[in-house]
Amino acid sequence: MGKRDELIAKYAEDLKSKCGMDADMDLLTKVTIGCGPAIYDADASTVAASQEGELETVKNNFLIKKLGLSDGPELMEAINTAMETYGMSERNKYRAVVYYMLTKHFGKESVYG
């Protein structure tokens, strides 16, 4: 099993144990691959929920550019909901897991089709 496969398994476990979701492994794999080399970097692989700038980056670079959504208050609401689902006390919120939840939330699985 390669490093990426190990990370995908870890993300699936986080979705199940911390977010109460069963992962669509095909979609989770595609979202993880879409994160690129960031998944291997300790800092870039996680989302700092307490940093407003980080949440803006998720909104602009992922929701608007990648998923093609229009800017509006519902984007930040969805990000905050994903953070709460993950658990605000959870120190490591993996970017791939957050992106997966947001992709499912907005029904944008087709972006990874």
Residue 1's pLDDT band (boundaries 50, 70, 90)? confident
* Residue given tokens 């957050």 in the structure block: 98
Reported as a single tens digit per residue, the pLDDT across 4-58 is 999 999 999 999 999 999 999 999 999 999 999 999 999 999 999 999 999 999 9
Specify the CATH number for the domain of residue 64. Answer: 1.10.238.120
Domain count, the chain: 1
> And the tokens for 105?
């939330």
> And the tokens for 74?
């519902």
What single-letter amino acid sits at 110? S
Reported as a single tens digit per residue, the pLDDT across 77-97 is 999 999 999 998 998 999 999
Residue 53: the pLDDT is 95
Measure Cα distances from 102 to 1, 2, 28, 92 in Å: 27, 26, 12, 17
Residue 110: the pLDDT is 97
Is residue 75 predicted with pLDDT exceeding 90? yes
Range of the domain at 11: 3-112
